[in-house]
Amino acid sequence: MKIQKLDGYTLITYKDIKLRDGVLVQGLPGIGLVGKIAVDYIVSRLDLEKVAELIGPGILLPAGNVGVFVTNQGELQLPSYKFYYYSGTERDFLFLTSEVQPTVWAQYEVAEKVLDLFVSLGGREVVGLCGTAIEEAETGVYYALATQRLGEKLESIGAKRSSGGTITGACGLLPALASLRGLDAFVLMGSTQTSEPNFAAAKEVIIAFSKLYGISISLEEIEKVINQIREKEEEAKKILEEAKPKEGEQLPSWYV
């Protein structure tokens, strides 16, 4: 293990790596937890090794407070950015996930430190995975570009171009800053109608990512979770329907 100080931040390196035509894939907490679920799932299914962590004053607890997590084993754990390594057939990947997003005032400085690390390892392309709120019930994957020439490739996997709006937080910021360094960069977004964890939207993002880079990722476990959620939703819907008064049935006089 190697510990390196970076202007108030600390980089902990567990394994030295070099990337071949490297791709950084970021998935942090955000709307519907779509990006975080997607990256955490990929890391789990591919059984990836954690190679580095970044900690510092801009990476705080979810509510923005200074503090630490306590694990189920009673151990102290600093909020951190976690990096996982995957060696592909032609390209290497660095997956970035965390329990938190940087606090608002630190978004830029944390993103720049991530890019410093990524470029030093041989990085060439940055992908932000996240959710996007839409009114339509149909699930789908949308993209936004920092590198325009990638549009045709993303259209070929069935992703739709996003039109208008904003992307808050690190999901859009990191790719945008990456493009200023000459890196290819874009965002893939799973559509969601809820701020609750959306595993179905994350699944669509995983499928799009798998098609884009030719990485085989089993969907069996995430489909189990999706089916369990649907079953619970159907049960709740049935209970509510049964609780409704039938047509012509009067409510008791004490009902308010």
Q: What is the DSSP string of 99-130?
A: SSPPPGGGHHHHHHHHHHHHHHHTEEEEEEEE
Q: What residue has token string 């709006």? A: 165
43 near 129, Cβ under 8 Å?
Answer: no
Structure tokens belonging to residue 108: 């830029």
Write down the pTM of the prediction: 0.90
- pLDDT in the model for residue 240: 75
144 near 164, Cβ under 8 Å?
Answer: no
- Give me the residue spans of the domains in the chain: 2-243
- In the CATH scheme, what is the homologous superfamily, with its name and number, of domain 2-243? PAC-like subunit (3.40.50.10900)
- pLDDT in the model for residue 236: 79
Residue-wise pLDDT for 7-23, tens only, equals 999 999 999 999 999 99
The yes-or-no verdict on residue 256 having pLDDT over 60 is: no
The yes-or-no verdict on residue 180 having pLDDT over 60 is: yes
Cα gap 109→90, rounded to integer Å: 31
The yes-or-no verdict on residue 237 having pLDDT over 80 is: no
